[in-house]
Structure 1
Amino acid sequence: MKKILVPTDFSEQASVALKAAAGIARKSNAEIILLHIIDMPQETMDMIKPGYDIPEIMLFKEGAEAKLTQTSMSEELSGLNVSQILILGRTFHEVINVAKANNIDLIVMGSHGASGFKEFFIGSNTEKVIRTSDIPVLAIKGNNSEISFNKVVFANDFTEESAKGFEKIINFLKLNGANPHFLMINTPNNFKPTHVAEQMAHDFLKQFNLDAYEFSIYNDLDIEKGILNFADRINADLIAMGTHGRKGFARLLNGSISEDLMNHSPKSIITFKL
């Protein structure tokens, strides 16, 4: 891992995410890129012409530049290679654009847990970033800045549809010293006998030449509850899941389940594009 992007709105939760990113950067000798976006309505953006300054916007920009510089010099980033980017734009679009333009390996951002994503990632911005990002996104929950990859619950449906990009996920987790615990959730509407579920998982995982792995089947009323309850049962450090881009969390996480899981989980979550 060479580059970690950390969008910040200078809030307390953004600071927690930054500390978590710093810990990962130290382990992998990665550069941290701090990103602050002055989120402007589209009509305001249309008014801004090259070489033409709007006084109110310039005041916002100068204040943000000072905060960004101060953040880059904070104690938790001491000894790390840190750069900063300040732009005017629309939050969701610019996070994706900056990540692509700078060959980012991981995006780290904060979450307020059960109350939903607030402040910097307002409304559906976080969901949009996760759905469209080709880059792994790590959402830090609560005040947990000490992120561990030791025990990662990796929920999957073990279908061929989820095989695309799976090896990339495994390599990423291995690079960070993760011990993935693969999980299949059985629900009343999509129940599989144990021997069928075990065979599906075995056939799926053997194509990735895994020497050893842990696998569990967990029965619950729905997928979200199953993942959360199982992660709590084994005291997981992190929950990992795959996304299918603009289609949302196909098969494994359909409709609003992805957003509910992100909002309700007390544990941090990392997502990967399949």
Structure 2
Amino acid sequence: MKRILVPIDFSGDSLKALRFAIYLANKLDCHLRIIHVQKSEKFEIPFHFEEMKNEIIHTVQEYLEKLIELHSAGYCVKNGVFDFKIRTGSVYREIVNQAKYGDAYMILMGAYGASGFEEFFIGSNAFKVVRNADCPVITVQNEFTKGQLKTIVMPIDASTETRKKIPFVTDIASSCNAKVHILGVHETTNSQIVGKIEHYMRQAEGYFKEANVEFVSSLRQGDNNTFSSLDYAREVEADLITIMTEQAESSFNMFFGSYAQQMVNRSEIPILSVPND
């Protein structure tokens, strides 16, 4: 059975990520594992744990045990395991290593951590995890209030690597009965570039048809592919945007380097980053 890994630093965003992860684990029939990374063996009181404000708890292990107890009722996978790991060291390295050696299907984490701390997530650990993980990573900022994932935006650019996310998107869309918006994006009027994007879009359409995934296709030109994708996702009230973590270097690539970081940092909509491996 597959496993979803959820980093928890007890910040509000990490707890929002846990609730989203429980939903996806139920839909995808996955084990669920929490990971908490300590800078040292010294115990520190968690920063944001309103659910347990009346509890007397003395160790990180007790907090995690209580957290699982509070959320176990929502986890409904037959023969599924909902557990936790505690590791010490570099936050992003320990998360990436746990995902690798625990054979995680995906990592689902908060984009922000506890503000005021050295290991704050945004622009730091979240993006480092996205860039270094061998598995897909979903980053979230807002509460999963809809209780379901129904609309996925999948931007397509002119790079060959852009198509590598299609099988993973298909898996999620099929499990959640979601509609995929295939969004061709480009920053140029070059007909060869646009033609290549349209060709890739048709390939994605064929893949989704074969998998019986509902989809719609659109093509947009703009000054910045990140902003074009975000604007479209907001218009259709998307629940998830999918990107490639890193793509071959080209002036027409969509999410290479800073573009991926822009998307993770700027989007209030969850971002699914699929590694280019």
Mapping for residues 1-274 of structure 1, pairs under 5 Å: 2-40=2-40, 57-60=41-44, 63-74=59-70, 76-78=71-73, 80=75, 81-112=81-112, 121=121, 123-146=123-146, 148-164=148-164, 166-187=166-187, 190-193=188-191, 196=195, 199-205=198-204, 208=207, 210-211=209-210, 213-244=215-246, 251-274=253-276
- The 4+ residue runs of structure 1 with deviation greater than 6 A are 245-248
CA offsets per residue over residues 39-58 of structure 1, 9 Å max, x none? 24xxxxxxxxxxxxxxxx35
CA root-mean-square deviation: 3.2
2: CA distance, partners of 1:209 / 1:79 = 30
Q: Unaligned 5+ residue runs, structure 1? A: 41-56
- Conserved? CA contact 1:186–1:192, under 8 Å: no
Report the Cα offset of residue 226 of structure 1: 0.3
For residues 93-118 of structure 1, give each alpha carbon's deviation from its aligned partner in whole angstroms, at most 9, with x where no partner exists: 111111112121121111249x9x99
For residues 231 and 118 of structure 2, what CA distance do their matches in structure 1 show? 25
TM-score, length basis structure 1: 0.78
Q: CA separation in 2, counterparts of 1:135 and 1:173?
A: 18
Say which SS state the counterpart of residue 59 (structure 2) adopts. Answer: helix
Deviations 1:178-223 (A, max 9, x none): 3211111232xx2345973674235543673734632111122211
Task: Kindly state the Cα deviation for residue 159 of structure 1 after the two structures are TM-superposed.
Answer: 3.6
Provide the identity percentage: 24
The one-letter amino acid of 1:205's match is A
Query: What secondary structure sits across from 1:103 in the alignment?
Result: coil
* Cα deviation 1:108-164 (Å, max 9, x = unaligned): 111249x9x996525422112111212121112222354533111101215433344
After superposition, give the CA deviation of every residue in 1:207-255 in whole Å (9 maximum; x if it has no partner).
Answer: 737346321111222112101111112221211112237979x911133
- 3-state SS of the aligned residue for 1:184? strand
The structure that has the greater radius of gyration is 1
* Residue correspondences, number: 252
Which of 211-220 and 80-89 deviates more? 211-220
Deviates more, 1:9-18 or 1:200-209: 200-209
Distance 1:242 1:18, change over 3 A: same
Using a 3 Å threshold, how does the CA distance of structure 1 residues 147 and 158 change in structure 2: closer, same or farther? farther
Distance 1:20 1:268 in 2: 10
TM-score by length of 2: 0.78
Match of 1:153, SS state, is: strand
Q: What is the distance in 2 between the residues matched to 1:100 and 1:145?
A: 30
Structure 1 residues 119 and 17: alpha-carbon distance in aligned structure 2, compared to 1, 3 A threshold: farther
> Aligned partner of 1:225: which letter?
F
Classify 1:145/1:237 alpha carbon distance in 2 versus 1 (closer, same or farther; 3 Å). same
Query: Displacement of 1:175 after TM fit?
Result: 3.1
Distance 1:173-1:131 versus aligned 2 partners, 3 A rule: farther
Contact 2:240 2:272 in 1 (8 A): yes
Q: Is the 8 A contact 2:64 2:84 kept in 1?
A: yes
Partner of 1:47: none
